[in-house]
Structure 1
Amino acid sequence: MRYAEKPSPDVVLVVAAGKVDGRRKGWKEFALKTTEMKFDPKENERVRIVNQKLASSGIKFDAAAAALMAERFGDRIAFLDTELEKLKTYLGRNEAAGAADVETCISVPSADNVFDLVEAVSDKRTADSLVQLKSLRENGERVEPILAMMARQFRILLLIKTLKPLNLPTYELAGKCGVHPHYFPKYAEQASKSDSETLKRNIVSLSRANLRLHGGGADEWHILELEIISLTR
């Protein structure tokens, strides 16, 4: 912190960090004196990174389990190593993992539940959207992963609409969008019911909600509830 207050004009200091809590006093002070830059991988790169980590984990994932891991961690790669270690402990000597093992052990919101939430938001069904959110909350999910997965899903839908005029084969389109082919049809169906401008607005709006989330002071669930009400107007 002392260096950040009076840095050398001839030195560029790079501090690489994963997940940080921007609400903490230390990080707030640090952020005021520095410039934050994010280097997020593209959607298709996310799936490749997840698959590489799965392959090197020592766990033998069947196809359904691998697809589920890619779906849940495509936008949360920084958490994957910790969750893989937890899954190893859960499996014990059994090195094979199926979808049921992932569902039982991995503490990330179900993609299906978030998919239903995004579908309700896209259809501007405010009451249904809030019911879906309430269900996620009662299941012990956290706000930040839900927000991240919602933003990722809207980005995928926008990318599908952008690439559709190219008439690519389904497997190639799924790869470019960072979606496992097993899950792609339901994404394509949802994209067909959305327009690009609305998707763009939703992505920007969720990004602003994320900034408010890290600003501290306000109740996280209240922020997300207000955001969903705003998106479904």
Structure 2
Amino acid sequence: MIDVFTFEKNLKKAQIENCYLFCGIDEFIIKENIRKLVQKSIKTDFADFNYIKFDGSSLESFDPVINACETLPFMSDKKVVLVYRAAFIGDEQNGKSKLSYEFNSIQNYLKNVPEHCILILYYLFKNKRDKISKKIYGLDKYLCIVRTDKVKGYQLENKVQEFFDERVKNIKKVDLRIFCSLMNDNNLNMIENEVEKLCCYTYGRDIEREDIKKVFLKSSEEDIFDLVNAISNKKIKDALHILNELIYGGAKISYILSMIERQFNILLKIKLYLEYGSTKKEAMEKLNIKSEYGYSVMLSQSKKFTLNQLKRAVEMCLNTEEKLKSLSTDERIEMELLIINTTA
């Protein structure tokens, strides 16, 4: 089992296996690395013939995948077969997927993928609490497992620096660190959207620290404060209005959800810390809250919820995050339902 950075290093050295399993919660990271692998393996001129995709969540048999793997590539040394959102990989507990019953035969085929084919499967964790199962660990001897954990610390800063470099935009190291500290969920798709926003805001000049404060401390922190405040005061119309304003202003729904979830998590932790006897100073240090005013606002919000209500709100955020991964889901409606349910 390797991490995504080892995978990237191997790819640069052209050390490519013929069978991969990507797993993690951040689909952006998974898709980005699969894209790099495909680009490295097959020519774009013949991609339509040599890059075959299957939706793992709707596959009823693995036979079409095997047939695609066995078929020789067209005008190329390699072909790529992708099984995305391979839910049957994680059906350890309930075994609801038809393919979960065929897992032993699938596992046997993974040992014998032909040399002309690169078979890729990826499995998304249902939420942040999911861990790699024994079932997945058991595949490590048959294929290359790439674990796509959330990027943190210097690795996150280096990745975000790449986003700025791609846009030929200068940002100082210290300011880059401040920017990363405001990107709380480490969702690279969301972070790249925020990089784009900041680059547009500073068009024609270098990024300054004040730009980061103006764009993100107002648009993320204060707006989400207002949204959660409206929820805590049971003002559904106000909350829905703020949601629509955020969407109209260009904020991605995944970003709004991650910020709401973060805010509820902070309120939950404040309530827990105080219940266990922490002082205000200790709670602020543990939560890395610098402003006493900001803490007082969040303390006031936390008092308007019971402990169970906050736990339920965090759980509903995680459930909504899972629903948003479905292509058939109306994202705005799911967010509106989340707001209505958290005010109940």
TM-score after normalising by structure 1:
0.68
- Aligned partner of 1:7 in structure 2 is none
Computed over aligned residues only, the root mean square deviation of the Cα atoms, in angstroms, reads: 4.0
Which residue in 2 is equivalent to 1:157? 267
2:244 is matched with which residue: 121, 127, 134? 134
One-letter code of the match for 1:59? K
- The answer to whether structure 1 residue 209 and structure 2 residue 264 are counterparts is no
Identity %: 24
Q: Does 1:110 align with 2:220?
A: yes
In the alignment, is residue 97 of structure 1 matched against residue 152 of structure 2? no
Distance 1:218 1:94, change over 3 A: closer
Secondary structure of 1:15's match?
strand
- Structure 1 position 160, deviation (Å): 0.5
Does 2:339 correspond to 1:200?
Answer: no
Larger RCO: 1 or 2 (CA < 8 Å, sep 6+): 1
Residues 1-233 of structure 1: pairs in structure 2 closer than 5 A: 15=22, 17=24, 19-20=26-27, 26=55, 28=57, 29-35=84-90, 36-37=124-125, 38=128, 49=153, 53=157, 58-61=172-175, 66=178, 70=181, 72-76=182-186, 78=188, 80=191, 90=202, 96-98=208-210, 100-104=211-215, 109-164=219-274, 165-170=276-281, 172-181=282-291, 183-233=294-344
Note the residue ranges of structure 1 that are not aligned, 5 or more in a row: 1-12, 41-45
Task: State the SS of the aligned residue for 2:251.
Answer: coil
Greater CA deviation, 217-226 or 183-192? 183-192
Q: Which runs of 5+ in 2 are unaligned?
A: 1-19, 31-52, 58-83, 91-123, 131-149, 162-170
TM-score (norm 2): 0.49
- Label 1:85 to 1:126 Cα distance change in 2 as closer, same or farther (>3 A): closer
| Bigger fraction of residues in strand | 2
Q: Considering only CA atoms, is the larger Rg found in Structure 1 or Structure 2?
A: 2
Give, in angstroms, the shift of residue 58 of structure 1. 3.3
Superposed CA offset, 1:28-58 (max 9, x none): 4433132355479xxxxx9x949x949x973
Asked whether the 8 Å contact 1:75–1:148 carries over to 2, the reply is yes
Q: How many angstroms apart in 1 are the aligned matches of 2:233 and 2:54?
A: 39
User: How far 1:169 sits from its partner (Å)?
Assistant: 4.8
Q: CA deviation at 1:194?
A: 2.0
Equivalent residues, number? 205
More helix by share: 1
